[in-house]
Amino acid sequence: MTENVNGFFKPEEILSQLDIRNNMIVADFGCGGGFFSIPIAKIVNQGQVYALDVVKENLEAVKSKAELEEVINIKTVHCNLEISGSSKIDDDSIDLVILRNILFQSQKKIEIIKEAKRVLKSAGQLVLIEWIKDSSLAPKQGWFISKEEVQQLTENEGLILDKELSMDNQHYGLVFKL
């Protein structure tokens, strides 16, 4: 895989490693400006993408990008993922939840993982992408979590590691199944 000029993989390169198909229902927890939401929405086409974030401006950015790219299957949700049920998504209704660079921003990691697990269907996947602490481009502040710590937290919640993603040298990526 080739990296972008800034040292990061393109979202499409990461998504190509996942089992994402048309008609799926996907939740992008901590969507930011839509880095993954927009490309996923194009893949699931007839499905639905929930773009969730605590920052309203991020959700506005996702809406604007979706409109520009004529993507109509994204629903933005303003919520605090540290609070159980705040995603307003039904239990057992999501095929895939993606969490990218949000755990390091929270001291309530287990609550976020529990919310992801709550919304996942029984055969659903949780994709977790996080900064590698002290990598050259990682933020200088946060509550970073190692790959091993993530595995421990998710396994304690009954999620099973399915595979590791090929990533840039700034992040690690893990896929868990329910």
Per-residue pLDDT of the chain (178 residues; tens, 9 = 90+): 444 445 677 899 999 999 999 999 999 999 999 999 999 999 999 999 999 999 999 999 999 999 999 999 999 999 999 999 999 999 999 999 999 999 999 999 999 999 999 999 999 999 999 999 999 999 999 999 999 999 999 999 999 999 999 999 999 999 999 8
Q: 123: domain CATH number?
A: 3.40.50.150
Task: Please check whether residue 2 lies inside any domain of the structure.
Answer: no
Is residue 8 classed exposed, middle or buried when 0-12, 13-18 and 19+ CB atoms within 10 A define those classes?
Answer: middle
Residues of 148-177 as b/e, b for ≥16 C-beta within 10 angstroms?
eebbebbeebebeeeeebebbebbbbbbbe
Could you tell me which residues come within 8 angstroms of residue 57 by beta carbon, excluding any fewer than 6 positions away? none
Q: What is the pLDDT of residue 7?
A: 62
State the residue range of the domain holding 125. Answer: 11-177
Predicted TM-score of the model (pTM): 0.94
Q: What is the pLDDT of residue 6?
A: 55
Query: For 45-65, what is each residue's pLDDT tens digit?
Result: 999 999 999 999 999 999 999
Number of domain units in the chain:
1
Q: What is the pLDDT of residue 9?
A: 77
Task: Please check whether residue 4 lies inside any domain of the structure.
Answer: no
Task: Please check whether residue 1 lies inside any domain of the structure.
Answer: no
Task: Please check whether residue 93 lies inside any domain of the structure.
Answer: yes
Task: Please check whether residue 152 lies inside any domain of the structure.
Answer: yes
Q: What is the pLDDT of residue 66?
A: 98
Task: Please check whether residue 5 lies inside any domain of the structure.
Answer: no
Task: Please check whether residue 3 lies inside any domain of the structure.
Answer: no
- Which amino acid belongs to residue 161? L
Task: Please check whether residue 98 lies inside any domain of the structure.
Answer: yes
Report the chain's C-alpha Rg in angstroms.
Answer: 15
